[in-house]
Amino acid sequence: MSTTALRAASKGRLFEPKLIIGIVVVAVLLVISLFTGVYDIFGAQDGGEMFAITRIPRTIALVLAGAAMAMSGLVMQLLTQNRFVEPTTTGTTEWAGLGLLLVMIVNPGADLLTKMTFAILAAFIGTMVFFLFLRRVSLKASLTVPIVGIMLGSVVGAISTFIALQTDMLQSLGIWFAGSFTSILRGQYEVLWIVAIVAVAIFLVADRFTVAGLGEEIATNVGLNYKQVMFLGTGLIAIATGVVTVVVGNLPFLGLIVPNIVSMFRGDDLRGNLPWVVLLGVGIVTVCDLVGRTIIMPFEVPVSLILGVLGAVVFIALLLRQRRNG
Amino acid sequence: MITLENVHKKYSNDVAIGPVSISIPAGGITALVGPNGAGKSTLLTMVGRLMGIDEGTISISGFDVASTASKDLAKIVSILRQENHFVTRLTVRQLVGFGRFPHSKGRLSAADELIVSRSIDFLDLGALEARYLDELSGGQRQRAYVAMVLAQDTEYVLLDEPLNNLDMAHSVQMMAHLRRAAEELGRTIVIVLHDINFAGHYADHICAVKHGKVVEFGTPAEIMRDDVLTRVFETPVTVIDGPRGPLAVYY
Amino acid sequence: MAETTITAPRTTPKLRAGNRRSSGPLPSKKVGKRYWIVLSILIVLSLGFGFGLLAWDNPMPPGSRGFWLIAQMRASNVLVMLVVAFCQAIATVSFQTVTNNRIITPSIMGFESLYVAVQTAAVFLLGAAGVVAIQGVGQFVLQVLIMVALSVALYGWLLSGKYGNIQIMLLVGIIIGAGLGSVSTFMQRLLSPSEFDVLTARLFGSVANADPSYFPIAIPLCLLAGTGLILNARRLNVVSLGKETSINLGINHRREVMKTLLLVSILMAVSTALIGPMTFLGFLVATLAYQLADTYDHRYIFPVAVLTGFVILSGAYFIMKNLFYAQGVVSIIIEVIGGTVFLIFILRKGRL
């Protein structure tokens, strides 16, 4: 089995009628998102302007962040061959937060780019630590992997908390971590477009991640540069997680539930599933954001709270399903 | 005697064990053979009450496996599975000492220690008894586990592929040890074997399993025949007269 | 029944000079000696730090009435440390044994998230003033009860029945914790900075959080649960060999696991409700205790673990208080050290 063979086998299924329906549904959700909010964009004089400053950026951010986190989860699952792995169950998010916190302490006035660079760097280191650990244990299918990942995340979280407490930034830390699209405005979200590049890159090399996930020996055997692919995968995950954490915040469990739900309905066809993962990722984030914006209007519930609770419920449902199937 | 009556276990729509009804006589070695995935290990695991059954009854020496208290069964039957993995660091002797737990409840008497010593010596582990398990080779570790189930001092000993990961010499040694345990200690040993020729040479009875059912049961002379083995393993098998008994050739 | 005793060994037992053949928990004289030396050192250190915390910097001359009065006041802190060390050490070691996994701690099983959620909800709903008002034995008992009841519900749900699976139970516990965490974070963000300060004080494990009025409930509870586990030590030894081996040896594995987890949840609930979250203390203590005791036998691991826990807690407090004048950050420093040990442990050992 080679990468080209894998690709050829599933190439024809990238687009199909059902996908069009999915796209339409998500598009409708996005339009609803554009017209939901406290500010009356039709009645007020500067309605059009507000629409351009807040609503459009917010909706674009939903698309980009949702797609990026869902795809990061998928890549992690491919690389580790473990269904229950994603940036929040491996500590990647916490590492990104730690990186961000360190920049804020050293240089409180740092610009967005510096903050992001450090968050990405920390996320990269953290993901590498996790992968290194995984290479030493041969329990890829085991449920122990996410347990260790979450432990790892809470270690990093404890270090962040310690630093934040010492520098009196604890409450701000909580606010940064809580993913929310409330503060997305024109001029502040544009860096999110970086994750669009990540998404395209994942589309191009996804098959290689599958092969790399089978292990260094098998990957080398079929002529894949294992280290390079792992490095690339880790880099893409780190960039996506780092950027999203800095601009939006933490989007817990998104990367876990989306690929799992997609493969529940469509089986494990990577290439055919990719567009669905993107769509469902965007769809779920948008729905959560809409719910967050409307349930206690005129206030907002951060999307991370809704995702955290919803994600936990779906995750537990998945676990119970796995339990029944042995 | 181990008796299985109408034993049934369903996994999914296409994987099921049973119905199995069979009596494994007391004494000697009974080998379970069959193709991969036939359900040999599963049957053994069910007899050893590590896995429940859906229907039917299994009894060992007249004790119903499902209703007899586990701690009483542990004095009649012992089972060793293929993979034994735990985090605790133990010496060989400490591991074998655990075999006495059903009798001593963890308080080893001098008599228990004596049985442990004999069990260790029986498997030629005397020189290794103070070593930690993680310092041993796979074959030595396998022998240590067997020593543990022998120290448990049960009439019935169930072993799931104990030759797995053993080389030629160690496999032969292990089978010789088990043969002696059956003859000198009077144990009834039920063993899952992969190699039909080992079964033909060392076992007293061979039980062939296929698609979750027992398809043949008999002495090696009855089973080690072209037609029987060809049917069981679904590949052409010719049995020839080797220097030390019948030899199945399947390549 | 079996009348087959091993007879007629082919090789006569080779008795090595000076070493009686024994399967005991301390396999050789060397290991035995090492164990007792370690235990003695831990006892000396415990007494040293314990007495140090009582007497150091005491303005009254030792032996005088005033000296003892001050010591008495400090004694409650030392007692808290003892209770917490006892709870965390025994709970974590037992928990790691029944889950057959040495890199997790019972505290990530939602105990702490639940504590944080309850505390945050109290501040959120009642405000800073209201919270101070509901301090007391009642809320302590209530917290313990909620934690134990919820964990029993979790174990009962996920460990019993045909599909009982301990890994899934662990993960579900952790995920519920994460979900609760999201809710707490949200409430925290709506608090005013002054309310948040009140809350922060409670969200970090601190010996100062414990109120001596909790003792009449906390101490008997943890003694009861702890004794239950200690008396069960021999069976825990067998459980540590894994599910199949322990069933083979006649242990009712599921009942043993459920019983142990129930007692663990009581210990964890008492410790958490007493001083607040200490996520990695248990992990640190258990990991060190296995290295120090170097035996499989829980009867020997437990005392080493409890003493190690007490030495870490009292030592950290003693040093931070008298050398750095910063006893407020003790728990966080223990957390960071414990977390670092965890990182080193998984990267070096990589063995579960």
C246-257 pLDDT tens trace: 999 988 888 898
The whole-number average pLDDT for the span B44-52 is 88
Partner C contacted by B81 (CB < 8 A): yes
User: Which among C15, C211, B216, B212 is positioned nearest to B203, based on CA atoms?
Assistant: B216
Contacts for C30 with CB less than 8 Å, ≥ 6 apart: none
Superfamily of domain C75-348: ABC transporter involved in vitamin B12 uptake, BtuC (1.10.3470.10)
Domain span at residue A209 reads 3-35+46-324
* pLDDT confidence of residue C174: 84
- Calpha distance A309→A316 (Å, rounded): 11
Q: Which helix (H) or strand (E) holds A268?
A: none
Kindly list the distances between the CA atom of residue A131 and the CA atoms of A215, B27, B43, B89, C341, in Å, as whole numbers in the listed order. 12, 52, 39, 27, 18
Confidence of residue C13 (pLDDT cuts 50, 70, 90): very low
Count the Cβ atoms, other than its own, within 10 Å of residue B193: 25
* Burial of A165 (C-beta count, 10 Å sphere; 0-12/13-18/19+): middle
* Burial of B170 (C-beta count, 10 Å sphere; 0-12/13-18/19+): middle
Max Cα-Cα span within chain C? 81
Contacts for C33 with CB less than 8 Å, ≥ 6 apart: none
Q: Do the strands B156-160 and B77-80 form a parallel or antiparallel pair, or are they unpaired?
A: parallel
* pLDDT confidence of residue A27: 82
* pLDDT confidence of residue A44: 64
Mean pLDDT rounded to a whole number for chain A: 79
Paired residues of A250 in beta bridges: A178
CA distance B235 to chain C (A): 34
- By the 8 A CB rule, do B198 and B161 touch? no
The residue type at C193: P
* pLDDT confidence of residue A12: 46
B119-167 pLDDT tens trace: 998 888 888 888 888 888 888 888 899 999 999 989 999 999 888 878 8
* pLDDT confidence of residue A3: 42
- By the 8 A CB rule, do C217 and C269 touch? no
Is A41 among the domain residues? no
Partner C contacted by A193 (CB < 8 A): no
Confidence of residue C109 (pLDDT cuts 50, 70, 90): confident
CA distance C105 to chain A (A): 9
At C258, is the secondary structure helix, strand, or coil? helix
Count the Cβ atoms, other than its own, within 10 Å of residue C15: 11
Q: Alpha-carbon Rg of chain C, whole angstroms?
A: 22
At C267, is the secondary structure helix, strand, or coil? helix
- Calpha distance C346→A105 (Å, rounded): 29
Of the candidates C167, C279, C336, which has its C-beta nearest A143's C-beta? C167
* pLDDT confidence of residue C214: 85
Q: Is the pLDDT confidence value at A48 over 80?
A: no
- Calpha distance A82→A213 (Å, rounded): 9
**Which one has a higher pLDDT value, A126 or A142?**
A126
Q: Do the strands B55-60 and B2-10 form a parallel or antiparallel pair, or are they unpaired?
A: antiparallel
**Least confident residue range of A224-228, B54-58, C147-151:** A224-228
Q: Which residue is closest to C294 within chain B, CA to CA?
A: B89
Q: Is the pLDDT confidence value at C351 over 60?
A: no
> What is the interface size between B and C, counted as CB pairs within 8 Å?
139
* pLDDT confidence of residue A47: 64
Is A211 among the domain residues? yes
Q: Which residue is closest to C242 within chain B, CA to CA?
A: B86
Q: Is the pLDDT confidence value at A86 over 70?
A: yes
- Calpha distance B130→B110 (Å, rounded): 18
Contacts for B128 with CB less than 8 Å, ≥ 6 apart: B92, B136, B140, B144
Beta strands in chain B (DSSP E): 2-10, 16-24, 28-33, 55-60, 63-64, 77-80, 156-160, 188-192, 205-210, 213-218, 238-242, 245-249
Of the candidates C11, C27, C252, which has its C-beta nearest B94's C-beta? C27
Q: Is the pLDDT confidence value at A7 over 90?
A: no
Is A13 among the domain residues? yes
- pLDDT > 70: percent of chain B: 99
- pLDDT > 90: percent of chain C: 20
User: Which among B221, B217, B228 is positioned nearest to B190, based on CA atoms?
Assistant: B217
Q: Is the pLDDT confidence value at C202 over 80?
A: no
* pLDDT confidence of residue C2: 41
C315-350 pLDDT tens trace: 888 888 877 776 667 777 887 788 888 878 777 754
* Burial of C17 (C-beta count, 10 Å sphere; 0-12/13-18/19+): exposed
Helix, strand, coil percentages for chain C (3-state, nearest 5): 75, 0, 25
The whole-number average pLDDT for the span C8-30 is 59
How many domains in chain A?
1
**Residues of chain B contacting residue C8, judged by C-beta atoms under 8 Å apart:** 184
Is A171 among the domain residues? yes
Q: Is the pLDDT confidence value at A263 over 90?
A: no
- Calpha distance C346→C352 (Å, rounded): 8
- Calpha distance C210→C205 (Å, rounded): 10
- By the 8 A CB rule, do A219 and A52 touch? no
* Paired tokens of C111: 């105990």
Confidence of residue A198 (pLDDT cuts 50, 70, 90): confident
CA distance C2 to chain B (A): 5
* pLDDT confidence of residue C310: 94
Q: List all residues of chain A from 296 to 325 with a beta carbon under 8 Å from chain C.
A: 301-302, 304-305, 307-309, 311-313, 315-316, 319-320, 322-324
* Burial of A8 (C-beta count, 10 Å sphere; 0-12/13-18/19+): exposed
Confidence of residue C305 (pLDDT cuts 50, 70, 90): very high
Q: Is the pLDDT confidence value at A325 over 70?
A: no
At B204, is the secondary structure helix, strand, or coil? coil
**Residues of chain C contacting residue A125, judged by C-beta atoms under 8 Å apart:** none
Instruction: Select, from the ranges C63-67, C116-120, C222-226, the one with the highest average predicted confidence (pLDDT).
Output: C222-226
Confidence of residue C134 (pLDDT cuts 50, 70, 90): low
**Residues of chain B contacting residue C9, judged by C-beta atoms under 8 Å apart:** 117-118, 121-122
Is A40 among the domain residues? no
Q: Is the pLDDT confidence value at A9 over 50?
A: no
Q: Is the pLDDT confidence value at C160 over 50?
A: yes
Q: Alpha-carbon Rg of chain B, whole angstroms?
A: 18
**Least confident residue range of A212-216, A258-262, C16-20:** C16-20
Query: What architecture does CATH give domain B2-76+155-249?
Result: 3-Layer(aba) Sandwich (3.40)
The residue type at C69: L
* pLDDT confidence of residue A39: 63
For residue B91, give the DSSP letter. B
Confidence of residue A10 (pLDDT cuts 50, 70, 90): very low
Helix, strand, coil percentages for chain A (3-state, nearest 5): 75, 0, 25
B57-87 pLDDT tens trace: 898 988 988 888 888 899 999 999 887 777 7
Q: Where are the domains of chain B?
A: 2-76+155-249, 85-153
Q: Is the pLDDT confidence value at A2 over 50?
A: no
Rounded to 5°, the CA angle C110-C113-C118 comes to 120
- Calpha distance A267→A276 (Å, rounded): 12
Task: Enter the pTM of the model.
Answer: 0.85
- Calpha distance A248→C132 (Å, rounded): 35
**Residues of chain C contacting residue A178, judged by C-beta atoms under 8 Å apart:** 185-186, 189
- By the 8 A CB rule, do B248 and B235 touch? no
| Cis preceding linkage at A298, omega within 30 | yes
User: Which among A152, A165, A151 is positioned nearest to A125, based on CA atoms?
Assistant: A152
Count the Cβ atoms, other than its own, within 10 Å of residue C291: 11
Q: Is the pLDDT confidence value at C113 over 90?
A: no
A211-239 pLDDT tens trace: 887 777 788 888 888 888 888 888 888 88
User: Which among C294, C261, C283, C269 is positioned nearest to C339, based on CA atoms?
Assistant: C283
Q: Domain holding A26: CATH number?
A: 1.10.3470.10
Partner C contacted by A131 (CB < 8 A): no
